[in-house]
Amino acid sequence: MAAAKRAPTEYPVTGGPAFEPTHPGELLGDTVLPALKLSISEAADKLGVSRQALHRVLAGTAAMTPEMALRIGKLTGAGPTIWMGMQQQYDLWHAERRLAAELRKIPTLKAPG
């Protein structure tokens, strides 16, 4: 007897974690690159990107794009998913705070059934 498929649970927006999630560039610059004994210039060269582009990600002024996540995931052997997940958490946290007042005005509708 096959188990019935359940719809994923959706949780209401509650503001997320109280503390700002770490930007993936911060983890990369503060922990990963030093552990690999790579300077920003060396890492940028190995990644095939400009030093300035990598620096913007490390400084948190640019998002971790899927392309950059693929490059860093390959370089570190960890894959792109962790980097994209961190960026998503970071972006959602900031968006929830920017849109909090507007989100409170939007009703949550449920399909009958």
CB atoms within 10 A of CB 63: 18
Q: Which of 32, 71, 79, 77 is nearest to 50 (CA)?
A: 71
CB atoms within 10 A of CB 34: 11
Q: Which of 54, 56, 23 is nearest to 41 (CA)?
A: 54
pLDDT digits (tens, 9 = 90+) for 56-75: 999 999 999 999 999 999 99
97 lies in a domain? yes
pLDDT digits (tens, 9 = 90+) for 14-51: 556 789 999 999 999 999 999 999 999 999 999 999 99
pLDDT of the residue at 13: 56
- Looking up residue 92, the CATH number of its domain turns out to be 1.10.260.40
pLDDT band of 113, cuts 50, 70, 90:
confident
Domain ranges, residue 90: 24-104
How far is the C-alpha of 21 from the C-alpha of 42, rounded, in Å?
27
Total number of domains constituting the chain: 1
